[in-house]
Amino acid sequence: MRRRKAAAVRRLTVAAVRHRKGAAARRRTVAAALLGMVSLAACGIQKSDVVEAGGAATVAVYPAPEFRMVLYFLGPDGRPVPVVRDIGQPVPDTTSPWDETGTDPKHRESQGLGSGQVNQERGTRVVTDKVLAALVAGPAGADKAAGLTTGLPGWKKPPIAEAVEEAGPTPQGRRIVRLRSPYPVMELSDAAVQQLVCTTAYAEDGGGMVEVTLTSVDGTLPATRCES
Amino acid sequence: MKACVSPEPGTEPGTEPAGADASGPAPRRRRRARGPRLHPFGLRTRLVLAFLLVAAVGCGTTAALTYRAARNAILEQTQDTAVSAFRDQVDPLVISLPVDTRQLRDSLLVIARQGKPRPWRVYAEYGTVRVSSTDRPTSSVITPELRARAQARPATPHGSFQRVVKNGKPYLTMAVPAVFRTHATKGTAQPTGLVFYAVMELDEEDANIEAMVSAARDGALPALAVALIPALIASRGVLRPVRELRRAAHSMGRGRLDTRIHAKGSDELADLARTFNESAAELERSVAELRDAEARARRFASDVSHELRTPLAGMLAVTEVLDEDAGSLDSDTARAVRLISAETGKLAVLVEDLMEISRFDARAAELHPDEVDAADCVRKTLQHRHWTDPAQVVPYLEEGIRARLDPRRFDVVVANLVGNALRHGAAPVTVRLYAEGDELVTEVADRGPGIHPDVLPHVFDRFYKADQARTRSAGSGLGLAITLENVRLHGGTVRAANHPSGGAVFTVRMPL
């Protein structure tokens, strides 16, 4: 009898404690709700994270594509930065089997050296070589003033570009161009390789749809595309 | 002035057990004095507070949500306008790479003037070149995060913005990287490494938002004030029946059992009122029954005493004759005759006392007050009872006190108290009479053993025996009860106590 009474008392106590706990929890819920409401109404303009909004601005760069060459040097952060130089006279765009717009000679003429259709004759890349020579020569005065540098060592002669026909276009429709360098290339930094690859890619093709392999006496680097 | 009549010596009736202190209807008067009270946290306050809380939560939530939505809309519109306007103004620029700082600065100055929705400060960064539309090359408001995001080279470059609060002032900072087409038709746009930044103050938006906050606040306060009205109406709706109920309960407590509440409506309070009415009716019925029963019982006692009186009168006359002739009878018969005579006398006294107390119970006892000399009255009472021996009764009477008394009843009071003192206490019995304030005080003290504390509350009870073993006493057992009733009839009090130096003290206080 007494045991039963004790059990009942215990049950009551437990219930009371639970009730008290419940009340505390309810109070906490109410407090949280009030807090939420207050924070919801935090007044004024709050600072925010960086939010993406819209695309980039597409500016025009002069000289126009047919009068320019695009060289890639390195910015202060070590990433390739394009530099556009005047080449004097327009370079006629010769036929390219990958140029979908290339049926109209007049139109092709409008494509300049910078537009990439620089091969005067299949297999010879005189203009590309010229562009590569400018790249190897390093940043000019204005480029240096803007804080641009080059990752390439002081080569005397530029590498020679040649199309790799036997492989055909890559699944993405890119041509492959091989750069033959008279100097070792395995020691080049990634940034320097990107400089060569990007400069070559945009010299060869206006859209940069080119993959470039770099080869020399000390070895061959795999085909790379311009990542800038 | 009339002389004091000395009626029959006091009977010994008892009355209600009023404790040792038999006083008038004082407690009832105290209750009546209580009026409606103000409760600082009563129902009304709680109801009004609850209403206000609900209203505040409602207003607050609505205001907060509206405010948030409006603020976001304002900011979003400003941001979208600014970012797209900025991009639209950068788009037509013609630049050289590396940038020509002078030319770029001219372009920036043009853009800076055409800020939308408001003028902004414009900055451009390329390599280590920093160009701006102001005299400072860069802005400290532009955060490294924004710069990092603008200079990142994802597959598709995009503009971005960030709100910054500096020194309490909000700014909108925007970054748009410039890309260029490497070919008129082919390929994707390539980053130029040039990034344009614009910094616009959001003070106007800030002011607008501040205005919204104050508008919300100014709107919420009148809403709360308006919420007071339904709160008060609702609390009145609850409080009125409650107040009525309280008044009814109070009135019932004062003995008006026919109190009823006007119950209307069908809510819980109306139910309560109906229940109250039913209970009150039931109570009234029960009380009426009880009163009837009590009245019947009293009438019975009164009738019995009346019926007994006539034969007793005859018996008394006979016993007087027998008493006179007792001397001529033989001794056994004479003792029996005297015993009968004595007991008959006691019986007559008892019947007289019973009739007296019945009159009190029936409220038939009437007071015939008269302007008398109090000391004279007491003296006459003592003389009539032959309590003149100073060894027996010592009077200390203040002379010349004029009081409005019923002389017959006052005589009963004094005689009963003194007789009681002589019977249960011990001589000498002191009788004091004096005026105190506007009260006449009569004090009867004896030198006996005093009254036992257990007995003290019951001395005025009817037929109360201090000594349970002694079933027969010299008195009728009603003397002090009759004393109490007589004093009450005068509007006075009688109190029994023990004197510190021994002996019982009975104090009668009556208004002069």
pLDDT tens digits along B58-74: 888 888 888 888 888 98
- What local confidence, expressed as pLDDT, does residue A200 receive? 87
pLDDT surpassing 80 at residue B35: no
Q: Mean pLDDT, to the nearest integer, of A9-34? A: 61
Half-sphere exposure of residue B402, counting CA atoms within 13 Å on the CB side?
4
Q: Mean pLDDT, to the nearest integer, of A123-134? A: 70
Query: Measured between CB atoms, does A208 come within 8 Å of chain B?
Result: yes
pLDDT surpassing 50 at residue B10: no
The distance of B268 to chain A (nearest Cα, Å) reads: 28
- What local confidence, expressed as pLDDT, does residue B36 receive? 54
**Cα separations in angstroms, B117 against B86, B120, B133, B216, B344:** 10, 9, 17, 26, 125
Q: Check: CB of residue A205 under 8 Å from CB of residue A65.
A: no
Which among A58, A72, A86, A202 is the top mutation candidate for probing chain B, defined by the most B β-carbons within 10 Å of its own β-carbon? A58
Cβ distance of A146 and B146 shorter than 8 Å: no
Half-sphere exposure of residue B148, counting CA atoms within 13 Å on the CB side?
5
Residue of chain B whose alpha carbon sits nearest to that of A210: B187
Q: What are the sequence ranges of the domains in chain B? A: 49-209, 370-511
Report phi then psi at B145, rounded to 5: -65, -45
Residue B193, Ramachandran bin (φ over 0: left; ψ between -120 and 50: alpha; else beta): left
Count other C-beta atoms under 10 Å from residue A118's C-beta: 28
pLDDT tens digits along A165-216: 766 667 777 788 888 888 888 888 888 998 988 888 888 877 778 888 888 8
Write the residue in B128, B165, B191 that is nearest to A45 by C-beta.
Answer: B165
Helix, strand, or coil here: B258? coil
Helix, strand, or coil here: B210? helix
* Long-range interactions of B222-225: CB distance < 8 A, separation 24+: B223/B55, B223/B59, B224/B52, B224/B55, B224/B56, B224/B59
Write the residue in B93, B149, B158 that is nearest to A54 by C-beta.
Answer: B158
Chain B CB contacts of A58 below 8 Å: 91, 178-181, 189
pLDDT band of residue B483 (cuts 50, 70, 90) is very high
Interface of B with A in 51-110 (CB under 8 A): 57, 60-61, 63-65, 67-68, 71, 75, 79-80, 83-84, 87, 90-99
Helix, strand, or coil here: A111? coil
CB pairs A-B closer than 8 Å: 205
pLDDT surpassing 50 at residue B498: yes
Cβ distance of B209 and A45 shorter than 8 Å: yes
Cβ distance of A59 and B79 shorter than 8 Å: no
Cβ distance of B178 and A56 shorter than 8 Å: yes
Query: Measured between CB atoms, does B178 come within 8 Å of chain A?
Result: yes
- What local confidence, expressed as pLDDT, does residue A93 receive? 46
Taking alpha carbons only, the member of B219, B239, B242, B221 closest to residue B231 is B239
Residue of chain B whose alpha carbon sits nearest to that of A173: B187
DSSP-derived secondary structure letter, B326: G
CATH number of B370-511: 3.30.565.10
Count other C-beta atoms under 10 Å from residue A112's C-beta: 26
Distance separating alpha carbons of residues A109 and A103, to the nearest angstrom: 11
Q: Where are the alpha helices (DSSP H) in B91-161?
A: 101-113, 144-151
Chain A CB contacts of B131 below 8 Å: none
Chain A CB contacts of B71 below 8 Å: 45
Q: What letter represents residue B356's amino acid?
A: E
Interface of A with B in 32-51 (CB under 8 A): 37, 40-41, 43-51
Taking alpha carbons only, the member of A163, A158, A157 closest to residue A132 is A158
Cβ distance of B209 and A50 shorter than 8 Å: no
Distance separating alpha carbons of residues B42 and A117, to the nearest angstrom: 93
Residue of chain A whose alpha carbon sits nearest to that of B202: A45
Q: Check: CB of residue A194 under 8 Å from CB of residue A227.
A: yes
Residue B448, Ramachandran bin (φ over 0: left; ψ between -120 and 50: alpha; else beta): beta
pLDDT surpassing 90 at residue B282: yes
B/e letters for B327-351, b = 16+ CB within 10 Å, e = fewer, are eeeeeeebeebeeebeebbeebbbb
pLDDT surpassing 70 at residue A102: no
Cβ distance of A146 and B99 shorter than 8 Å: yes
Residue of chain B whose alpha carbon sits nearest to that of A98: B186
User: Beta partners for A176?
Assistant: A211
Q: Check: CB of residue A66 under 8 Å from CB of residue A115.
A: yes
The distance of A4 to chain B (nearest Cα, Å) reads: 39
Write the residue in B153, B179, B205 that is nearest to A79 by C-beta.
Answer: B153
Interface of A with B in 91-130 (CB under 8 A): 101, 110-111, 114-116
Q: Check: CB of residue A155 under 8 Å from CB of residue A134.
A: no
pLDDT surpassing 90 at residue B203: no
Taking alpha carbons only, the member of A99, A198, A221, A216 closest to residue A160 is A216
Q: Where are the alpha helices (DSSP H) in B34-142?
A: 43-90, 101-113
B104 or A18: which leads in pLDDT? B104
User: In sequence order, which residues have a C-beta less than 8 Å from that of residue B117 and are 6 or more positions away?
Assistant: B78, B81, B82, B85
Distance separating alpha carbons of residues B3 and B407, to the nearest angstrom: 8
- What local confidence, expressed as pLDDT, does residue A116 receive? 43
- What local confidence, expressed as pLDDT, does residue A95 receive? 41
Residue of chain A whose alpha carbon sits nearest to that of B192: A82
User: In sequence order, which residues have a C-beta less than 8 Å from that of residue B407 and are 6 or more positions away?
Assistant: B2, B3, B4, B5, B370, B372, B377
A3 or B14: which leads in pLDDT? A3
Cβ distance of B149 and A53 shorter than 8 Å: no
pLDDT tens digits along B231-264: 888 888 888 888 888 899 899 889 888 888 887 8
Cβ distance of B178 and A57 shorter than 8 Å: yes
Q: What is the DSSP string of B428-488?
A: PEEEEEEEETTEEEEEEE--SS---TTTGGGTTBTT--SSTT----SS-S-HHHHHHHHHH
Q: Find tokens 């206080």 and name the residue.
A: B509
Which among B169, B180, B202 is the top mutation candidate for probing chain A, defined by the most A β-carbons within 10 Å of its own β-carbon? B180
Cβ distance of A146 and B98 shorter than 8 Å: yes
Residue of chain B whose alpha carbon sits nearest to that of A99: B186
Cβ distance of B127 and A43 shorter than 8 Å: no
pLDDT surpassing 60 at residue A125: no
Write the residue in A54, A142, A147 that is nearest to B159 by C-beta.
Answer: A54
Q: Find tokens 């009150």 and name the residue.
A: B280
pLDDT surpassing 90 at residue B162: yes
Chain A CB contacts of B96 below 8 Å: 61-62, 84
What is the overall mean pLDDT for chain B?
A: 84
CATH architecture designation of domain B49-209 = 2-Layer Sandwich (3.30)
Distance separating alpha carbons of residues B217 and B336, to the nearest angstrom: 107
- What local confidence, expressed as pLDDT, does residue B468 receive? 56
Taking alpha carbons only, the member of A71, A83, A82, A69 closest to residue A113 is A69
The distance of A97 to chain B (nearest Cα, Å) reads: 14
Q: Mean pLDDT, to the nearest integer, of B404-420? A: 91
Least reliable range by pLDDT among B40-49, B195-204, B349-358, B496-505:
B40-49
